[in-house]
Each structure stands twice: as structure tokens, then as C-alpha cells.
Amino acid sequence: MDFDIKRIIEWVKFRKVEVSILAGLFVIGLILSFLLFQPQARKIQEYNNSLISSSKDTSNLRTAQVELNELKKEITVIEETLAEHEKKLFSQEDTQAFLNYINRLAKFYNVRILKINPLSQVENEVKSLDKVYLAMPYRLSLTCSYHNLGKFLNKLEQSKDSFVRVDSLSIQADNSNMREHKVELGITIFSIK
């Protein structure tokens, strides 16, 4: 099949009306399709953008959910730790019992308590737990050997029945007894009010 331009031009001249009508219909079809499908194309683009945005939001929500779960685990660990520490706290009325415990512990480790002076109490209210904790500081005057003091302090701080903090410690040699030292010890006992 040979394409002859002259034959095509003659055919178009002969069929001018029909070609004009076909060309017009083609142009009208293009305009109609543009007018009809343009809004649809915009809607499709909007849906696509909305889908992308929703996908990002879903991803962000998943990340936030993972972080929330991690925080919940941390809160659980903190609450368990707090519950363990609360078991070590005792009520304000039990303070004398704890001081008796310190006396027994001192006797066991050959530590002589010369004096126990209570200092001013400090209240710490923990709002989220609706509890008030008391920090009850004491100043103890002791005489003992260096090694016995270490054992006494270790047992006092490691006690599973109480929560005690050693705040200060000063040791002076006793000139009258080389094996004994004069000790000033500051401790804080924590309890629930």
C-alpha cells in the first residue's frame, strides 16, 4: 500500500464537508472530554492527596501508639519500684520501733550510741499518690571501731524493713582509746505521715 499525498489531498477536497464535520466532531469531543473529565481528575488528585495525608497520619498514630506503650511499661516499672519502697516506709507512730531497731543493730555491731537527737521534720506531699511522706532527720553521737561502724552503716542502709539515708558522717580519733572513734552521724528516716 503506497501513500500518495496527492491522492489524499484530492480525497480531502472531494470530501471537504465530511472531513470538516469529522474534524469539528473531534474538536467538540476533545472539548467535552476536557470539560467532563477535568473535575473528575481534580477529585482524583484530591483523593490521592487525602490518601497520602491519611497514610502519614496513620503512620504517626502507630509511632505514637508504640511510644505510649513504652511509657506505660515505664510507668508500670516505676509504680512497682515505688510500691517496693513504700513497703520500706513505716508510719510516723512506728518511729520509736525503728529507733529501737537501730539500738539493737548498734549493740550487735558493738557500736555505742551516746545520744540520738531528732532534727526538724520535712513533709513532702506527693500529690499524685495522695500521700504525705516525712523525712525525719536524726543526729547520732557514737563511739565504735572503724570496721564496726562500716558494718553498722552497711546494715542500716541495706535494711529491707526501712528506708534510711546517711546524710553526714564525721569521725574523730579518741585519744583515750586508740581502737574507738568518736562518730557524729546524720541520718534521715523516711515514713508515711
Instruction: Indicate the domain borders of the chain.
Output: 1-88, 90-192
Instruction: Look at domain 90-192 and name its CATH class.
Output: alpha beta
Residue 91 CA, chain-centre distance (Å), reads 30
How much is the pLDDT for 92? 57
Write the pLDDT tens digit of every residue in 53-73: 888 888 888 898 999 899 999
Q: Are 148 and 132 in contact (CB under 8 A)?
A: no
Specify the residue for cell string 505510649. Answer: 68
Sign of CA dihedral 150, 155, 158, 162: negative
pLDDT at position 140: 93
Please choose, from the candidates 144, 139, 123, 140, the residue with its C-alpha nearest in 3D space to the C-alpha of residue 191.
123
Q: Residue 188: is its pLDDT beyond 90?
A: no
Distance CA(134)–CA(124), nearest Å, equals 6
Burial class (CB in 10 A: 0-12, 13-18, 19+), 2: exposed
- pLDDT computed for residue 111 by the predictor: 93
Residue 58 is predicted with a pLDDT of 85
Residue 97 has pLDDT above 80, yes or no: no
Report which DSSP code applies to 189: E
- φ, ψ for residue 152, nearest 5 deg: -60, -50
pLDDT of 122-171, one tens digit each?
Answer: 655 544 456 667 778 889 999 999 999 999 998 888 876 667 888 999 99
pLDDT for position 150 = 92
- Interior angle at CA 183, CA 180 and CA 188, nearest 5: 145
| Distance, CA of 179 to CA of 147 (rounded, Å) | 10
Q: What is the mean pLDDT of residues 8-12?
A: 72
Q: Label residue 177 by pLDDT band (50, 70, 90).
A: confident
Q: Which residue has the higher pLDDT, 80 or 41?
A: 80
Return the exposure string of 56-84: e unless at least 16 CB atoms fall within 10 Å of the residue's CB, then b: eeeeeeeeeeeeeeeeeeeeeeeeeeeee
